[in-house]
A and B are shown apart, each in its own frame.
Chain A
Amino acid sequence: MKKLYIRRFLWIGFFIIIWEVTYYSNVYARQIFPSIEQIIKSLGISLTKGDLLMQIGFSFIIILKGLLIGIVLSVLLSFFDYFFKNFSSLLDTIIGILHPIPGIALLPLVIIWFGVGEKAILVIIVHSVLWPMTINMKTGFRSVDNEYIEVSKNFGMNIWQIFYYVLIPLSLLHIVSGLKIGWSRAWRALISSEMVFGAIGPFGGLGWFIFEKRVYMDTPGTYAGLVVIIIIGMIMEDFIFGRLEKKCEEILL
């Protein structure tokens, strides 16, 4: 674990050096390629004086909401998919149709049906996370050895009990990796929809932050927004999902 961090920091250091060399070589206009120092300064100012913390919080909460709805729906869908043949073929068709459509392509429709408020953005997020999570969960359920199911049936378990005590625990790893995909999809959906059609909610989220910096040509600020996304992504990856995966492995052993 420690070695991994050292390597990661080495790579980050390496990229920082390349970045600075590029900056000082003046290949690109300063207005589109700021130095690391300018980016960090801008980040500091936005954190202390601006709305950035609130915007991060807003992004976070709306993503958690979207993920929660996505999890509940995908658990339900996967449950019916596993136990009912007809539903399974319907679900496959729906996934086949909807999964390839990027959330952004749905924006014009979403605006007409749901307006431009929080509801609209939630719809986009749920659309982006639901299908990949469902596919993962389905795969997880299907990979559970049939013998376990037969044994539980012999014990007289009903489908809910089989679902809860056998299928879910045995496919935990698939579920966690589905969550991981869902999490990153939710970020993409939120950031890109805000960059396409603007702030949602009173002060917008991180996507709006980046968009606003861009239209006022505050390039260090634009990069600062990206840095925040990277940091949050790394924290989630290492501390939340990494630990969750470990826990699941322990449970399974």
Chain B
Amino acid sequence: MKMKPTLILTISMIMLLMTACGKKHDNTVKIAQQYGLAYAPIQIMKEKGFLEEALPNNKIEWVKLSNTAAIREAVLADNLDVGFMGIPPFLIALDNGMEWKMMTGLSSCPIGLVTYDDNIKTLKDFTSKDKIALPQPGSIQHILLAMACERELGKADALDNQLVSMKHPDGFQALTAKQDIKAHFTSPPYLFEELANEDNHMVITGEEAMGSEFTFIAGACTEDFYTNNKKEYSALIEAINKSIEFMINNEDETLDILSNLYEMDKEKLKGYLNYEGMKYATDIQGVDKFVDFMVRNNYLNKSYKSEEVIWE
């Protein structure tokens, strides 16, 4: 029986691992966001301590994750209570059996497909060799591009084989390097920086792709959090409202905080925040349109009504 010690060791290791990542039941509220100007109200809320003020008996933890898949996995593993992301990746998770709904909108902003190639004026001008960078398949950028393809080229996946999945900063660099990335579907501040370069121009905006306004980033939480943490839930909604109001009423202080956090020039940032289409609001727009399109093109298995995807 030489195997015995190793066996015991292995079993205890596994048990240790299981307890380490098991369910958490304490007062912590864990909130995840990603990078970019679309998350400005969260930054303000964090900096001004609005949520901590409303929930003095809770510990608030802020996490920055670089993609929606990581946020979803963390929520599933019970390491996160609230995650902020675009509507399509939220829907994909819901469709795969994740028990969660959206709790609030956060921002709408101009997003779009930028290229340096003067010959590319519409989607029809892309040749099969032109590569397009965007964050990942199933992201809001990808779904918007697919919507535009369906309308203009007759096929939602017409450009899918030319996609290269890249984080915004990498995509920005790749477009600037003018190597094999012809276009980049991105959001602020990368979009603004790219458009500030005279060589670049916009092929299609997010709104043109969608055909109407839509919420870019929304916050979602699990059923468990919604039903068992009512106080925390409403405190968070209130804090977001408070942050957005603060941004409107205290422009100078907002610019101070954000220019520090994003390491950006204040004047430049002011221009960005006042850019047409840059809007911070808690209502959620465009869900039905996303659902219809995603069901029609098999990104989702079944259709959802508004009340099935938004709490209350």
Contacts A27-B22, A30-B97, A216-B137: A199 and B73 contacting too (C-beta < 8 A)?
A: no
Most chain B beta carbons < 10 A, residue from A27, A28, A30, A116: A116
Q: Are A31 and B98 in contact (CB under 8 A)?
A: yes
Number of interface residues of B (CB under 8 A): 42
Give residues of chain A (200-219) contacting chain B, Cβ–Cβ below 8 Å.
202-203, 211-212, 214-218
**Interface residue stretch chosen among A42-50, A61-69, A106-114:** A106-114
18 more contacts with CB within 8 A, not counting A28-B76, A111-B179, A215-B139, are A18-B11, A28-B21, A28-B77, A29-B98, A108-B173, A111-B170, A115-B180, A116-B166, A116-B179, A116-B181, A196-B167, A197-B164, A198-B163, A211-B136, A215-B68, A215-B89, A216-B92, A217-B96
The answer to whether A32 has its CB under 8 Å from any CB of chain B is yes
Q: Are A116 and B180 in contact (CB under 8 A)?
A: yes
Task: For A108, give its contact among B89, B137, B170 (CB under 8 Å).
Answer: B170
| Between-chain CB contacts (< 8 Å), 21 pairs | A18-B11, A29-B76, A30-B97, A31-B96, A31-B97, A31-B98, A32-B76, A32-B77, A114-B179, A115-B174, A115-B181, A198-B164, A199-B165, A203-B161, A212-B137, A215-B138, A215-B139, A216-B137, A216-B138, A217-B69, A217-B98
Nearest A residue to B138 via CB reads: A215
With the chains together, A90 CA to B299 CA distance in Å? 54
**Per-position 1/0 for B8-19, Cβ under 8 A of A:** 001100100010
With the chains together, A132 CA to B157 CA distance in Å? 42
Q: Are A111 and B97 in contact (CB under 8 A)?
A: no
The answer to whether B55 has its CB under 8 Å from any CB of chain A is no
The answer to whether B72 has its CB under 8 Å from any CB of chain A is yes
Q: Are A211 and B72 in contact (CB under 8 A)?
A: no
Across-interface contacts of A217 in B (CB, < 8 A): 69, 72, 92-93, 96, 98
Across-interface contacts of A31 in B (CB, < 8 A): 76, 93, 96-98
The answer to whether B177 has its CB under 8 Å from any CB of chain A is yes
Task: For A198, give its contact among B72, B89, B136 (CB under 8 Å).
Answer: B136
Across-interface contacts of A114 in B (CB, < 8 A): 179
Closest-CB distance, B167 to chain A (whole angstroms): 8
Q: Are B138 and A197 in contact (CB under 8 A)?
A: no
Closest-CB distance, B3 to chain A (whole angstroms): 9
Give residues of chain B (88-146) contacting chain A, Cβ–Cβ below 8 Å.
89, 92-93, 96-98, 131, 133, 136-139
Closest-CB distance, A110 to chain B (whole angstroms): 10
With the chains together, A196 CA to B164 CA distance in Å? 10
Nearest B residue to A212 via CB reads: B137
With the chains together, A29 CA to B136 CA distance in Å? 24
With the chains together, A32 CA to B177 CA distance in Å? 38
Nearest A residue to B21 via CB reads: A28
Nearest A residue to B181 via CB reads: A116
Across-interface contacts of A218 in B (CB, < 8 A): 96
Across-interface contacts of A112 in B (CB, < 8 A): 173-174, 177, 179
How many of chain A's residues touch chain B, expressed as a range? 20 to 34
Across-interface contacts of B180 in A (CB, < 8 A): 115-117
Closest-CB distance, A107 to chain B (whole angstroms): 7
With the chains together, A112 CA to B96 CA distance in Å? 37
Nearest B residue to A32 via CB reads: B76
The answer to whether A22 has its CB under 8 Å from any CB of chain B is yes
With the chains together, A48 CA to B97 CA distance in Å? 25
Across-interface contacts of B179 in A (CB, < 8 A): 111-112, 114-116
Task: For B163, give its contact among A30, A113, A199, A216 (CB under 8 Å).
Answer: A199
Contacts A31-B96, A117-B180, A198-B165: A215 and B173 contacting too (C-beta < 8 A)?
A: no
With the chains together, A104 CA to B179 CA distance in Å? 19
**Per-position 1/0 for B169-208, Cβ under 8 A of A:** 1100110010111000000000000000000000000000
Across-interface contacts of B68 in A (CB, < 8 A): 215
Nearest A residue to B72 via CB reads: A217
Across-interface contacts of A22 in B (CB, < 8 A): 18
Across-interface contacts of B166 in A (CB, < 8 A): 111, 116, 197-198
**Per-position 1/0 for B68-87, Cβ under 8 A of A:** 11001100111000000000
Most chain B beta carbons < 10 A, residue from A32, A113, A202: A32
Which 7 A-B pairs rank lowest in CB-CB distance, beginning with the nearest? A198-B165, A115-B179, A115-B180, A29-B76, A217-B96, A112-B177, A32-B76
With the chains together, A27 CA to B76 CA distance in Å? 11
Q: Are A197 and B14 in contact (CB under 8 A)?
A: no
Across-interface contacts of A30 in B (CB, < 8 A): 97
Contacts A107-B170, A108-B170: A27 and B18 contacting too (C-beta < 8 A)?
A: yes
Contacts A29-B76, A217-B96: A116 and B161 contacting too (C-beta < 8 A)?
A: no
Across-interface contacts of A14 in B (CB, < 8 A): 7, 10
Across-interface contacts of B139 in A (CB, < 8 A): 215
Closest-CB distance, A61 to chain B (whole angstroms): 19
With the chains together, A196 CA to B17 CA distance in Å? 27
**Per-position 1/0 for A166-199, Cβ under 8 A of B:** 0000000000000000000000000000001111
With the chains together, A202 CA to B162 CA distance in Å? 8
